[in-house]
Amino acid sequence: MNININNYEEWMVDYIEGNLSKVQEEKLMHFLEVHPELKSELEIFQQTKLQPDMHMVFENKEMLKKEEAGRVIGMPVWRKYAIGIAAAMLLFAGVKFLSVNNADVSGIKYTAKEISKPVFAFKQKETTDSGAIQSEKNIKQQPEIYFAEEKEIKKEKFADDKKELKEENKMEQIQRDANFVTEDMEFASIDEIDVIKHRGRIERDVNENYLQYTYANYVQPEMKTKNNNTIIDKYNNTVAFTESIGSLLGFGKDDKEKNDTDDLKETHIKIFDIEYYNRKKTDK
Amino acid sequence: MTTKEYNEVVDTWADGVFRFIRKNLTNEDDARDVVQNAFEILWKNHENVQFEKAKSYLFSTAYHNMIDFIRRNKRMNYVEEMDEGAKGGTAEMQIDVKDAIEKALLKLPEVQKNCIVLRDYEGYSYEEIGELLALTESQVKVYIFRARQTLKNYLVSIHHLI
């Protein structure tokens, strides 16, 4: 069909819709040459091409979206963070554990050095009991001798009993724990810590909640840190913190009441040198 | 279609489908509801809908949702909107062609309006529009022609008035 005065609108619309072939386009242009008064109509037709209002958008598209599988989903946000923190702490603990092991030699040295002080006190008490009161000056002249005696006793115990050896290992661990805290918890300085160690008491406490008790025996309770916490608060906080990490990962502190008749699946984890256990009953 | 692809559909087509629906529903919240509903339906069926077909599925779902919505709320204000332009005196006549077109668009019969909006906003082919609105290709072509003719006449009348 050819273009004429009755159907030119259809041709124009087809033109702006892009439906015309090259030949048809030429026919339309030729028609407009003949009817120039209709040219403006084609221009107006071109204005009927709608432009979307790009400012009109669906606000907050996120609400339409769904969580992708493979991501960690269905877990409350706090747990994501908690696991992140726990992972970071484990890494930190791992590094710390290595450094604690490396520091073992110096740690023992430190303990040995500090032992001299409580030993004085002990000896002073002893001498008080026997009635012969020594002056502080006199005590200070003998510390190394006394320390040597103490060491000998330890050696004897090692030889005597394997159980005692185990206890001794535990005590070493306690010392490491103590060192860890003193070295890393922003205390004023190690020198300022007055050790009032009492060896007999420590041994008794080993089988109880030894970490907290023993620590109290190692240092003066009123010793304050920069944050105005006592040194024991600091240590307890550390223990509580590691415990919370342990429990977050499903581990608990070692409970001695293990029923031997049960088949148990046991997993160990060590955080800041403190062991946690996860025991699950298994069906036979 | 995977979840990732579904989310991609949200990013790519949410605005477009919203604009399309918004041309029929003057209330923005109603339009949002219809679009949201359409996405919910798409999500429910996302495993059965191919990514390539997602756009037409979405537009079609939204369109049918909108029709249902209009049926449920028969006294829609989109009808009232149509008279507004006629009431406006010459003094307030908009010189801005784009505004004039938008006003004129609202006066078009529903089917013509939807055809031309899908054509110009989304670049749909006659065939696609036909599928979506349940029309034949030639019907779509005729409706688009009539829509443009009406819009052109409206613009010409404005030009004469000015």
Domain boundaries, chain A: 8-47, 77-244
Spell out a b/e string for A65-82, using b for 16 or more CB atoms within 10 Å of the CB, else e.
beeeeeeeeeeeeeeeeb
pLDDT above 70 for A3: yes
A183 pLDDT more than 80: no
Chain B positions in Cβ-Cβ contact with residue A41 (cut-off 8 Å): 152, 156
pLDDT band at residue A144 using 50, 70 and 90 as cut-offs: very low
Residue B13 has pLDDT above 80, yes or no: yes
pLDDT for A117 equals 35
**Is A50 exposed, middle or buried (CB count within 10 Å of its CB: 0-12, 13-18, 19+)?**
buried
Mutate: best of A47, A48, A65, A73, partner B, most B CBs <10 A = A48
B87-162, CATH topology level: Arc Repressor Mutant, subunit A (1.10.10)
Helix H or strand E encompassing A253:
strand A252-253
Nearest CA in chain A to B114: A50
What pLDDT is recorded for position B138? 93
- Report the pLDDT averaged over residues A214-220: 43
Give the nearest chain B residue to A43 (CA atoms): B152
DSSP B119-137: HHHH---HHHHHHHHT--H
pLDDT of A101 above 60? no
Residue predicted with more confidence, B14 or A249: B14
CB of A61 within 8 Å of a chain B CB? The answer is yes
Cα torsion for A62, A68, A72, A78, to the nearest 10°?
A: 20
Q: How far is A14 from chain B (nearest CA, A)?
A: 8
For the segment A99-111, the average pLDDT, to the nearest whole number, is 37
- What CATH number should be reported for the domain whose range is B1-74? 1.10.1740
What percent of chain A is modeled with pLDDT above 70? 24
Chain B residues inside the 8 Å CB shell of A67: 3
Q: Give B91's pLDDT tier (boundaries 50, 70, 90).
A: very low
Pinpoint the alpha helices (H) of A103-230. 104-130, 136-140, 143-160, 162-184, 199-205, 210-218
ipTM of the complex: 0.76
Highest mean pLDDT out of A84-93, A182-191, B22-31, B128-137: B128-137
Q: Give the chain A residue nearest B29 (alpha carbons).
A: A58
Q: Given pLDDT bands bounded at 50, 70 and 90, which one contains residue A2?
A: confident
Q: What is the pLDDT of residue A90?
A: 65
- Please list the residue range(s) of chain B that carry CATH number 1.10.10.10: 87-162
β-pairing verdict for A264-271 and A252-253: unpaired
Query: Pick from B128, B142, B118, B134: which is nearest to B21 by CA?
Result: B118
* Better pLDDT: B128 or A224: B128
Does residue A228 carry a pLDDT above 90?
no
CA dihedral B140→B143→B144→B150, nearest 10 degrees, is 180
pLDDT given for residue B70 in this prediction: 85
Task: Determine the average pLDDT of the residues in B6-26.
Answer: 90
pLDDT at A261: 55
Residue B53's pLDDT band (cuts 50, 70, 90): confident
- Indicate where chain B has its CATH 1.10.1740 domain(s): 1-74
Q: What is the pLDDT of residue A136?
A: 45
